[in-house]
Amino acid sequence: MPLNTPSKRSRSAGFTLIELLVVISIIGILIGLLLPVLGNIRKDTRKVTCASNMRQIGLAFEAFKIDNKELMPVARYMPPPLLSADTDPPLHVALEDQLPLDGNGINAVWKCPDDDLVFDLSGSSYDYISAVGGQRLSDFFLIRMGVFSESQMVISRDFDNASVDIEDQDEPLELPARHLRRNNLWGDGHVGVVNLDG
């Protein structure tokens, strides 16, 4: 065998440049296919976490009602510094016995995973239909009149897609819509999804 002829063994010992580029291309295509799936998994995880938070808040409402003759907690619509027509304590304070706050005055249950503004500002991502406060839900006038049943009435939801006044600020804070499908806590304690896109 001549000295300058490469053996078959040395030719197959490594990848050629073309083979390497093909492998890199295939890996790139696979990553391109997986990224949207991973993004959707992250979104679904946040939705499930939000629903879990709302269920825990619903259980806190039930525990509060058991301890208070079936009365709903008296609390304001949103915590300060967001302005509210009522001056009652925030819901996360009214339900502190049921959902204790840590040394910094927070509890992660009150944070929607998609919220990067309202929770940091006020300690809660969720609003409260404060008109039901201090009464039995069954005595609330819209339920008593038959307009809604308890299972049809939202009592808490993500606070977004709104313009809200802030204490000591001239301009309102514009909150973007974070969801097209929003978890809501209903009067009978179940958590359900409402489509916001029509």
What does the pLDDT look like over 165-197, one tens digit per residue?
Answer: 888 888 888 887 776 678 899 999 999 887 766
Concatenated DSSP letters of 97-161: TTS---TTS--GGG--TT-SSHHHHHS-SEEE-GGGTTSBGGGSHHHHTTS--GGG-EEEEE--S
pTM of the full structure: 0.75
Q: Is 175 helix (H, G, I), strand (E, B) or coil?
A: strand
In sequence order, the β-bridge partners of residue 163 are 174
For 42, counting Cβ atoms within 10 Å of its Cβ (0-12 exposed, 13-18 middle, 19+ buried), the class is exposed
pLDDT at 69: 95
Backbone dihedral region of 161: left (phi > 0), alpha (psi from -120 to 50 degrees) or beta?
left
Measured CA to CA, the distance from residue 164 to residue 143 in angstroms comes to 28
For 85, counting Cβ atoms within 10 Å of its Cβ (0-12 exposed, 13-18 middle, 19+ buried), the class is exposed
Q: Is 36 helix (H, G, I), strand (E, B) or coil?
A: helix
pLDDT at 16: 87
Q: Which residues of the chain have pLDDT under 70?
A: 1-13, 37-41, 179-180, 196-198
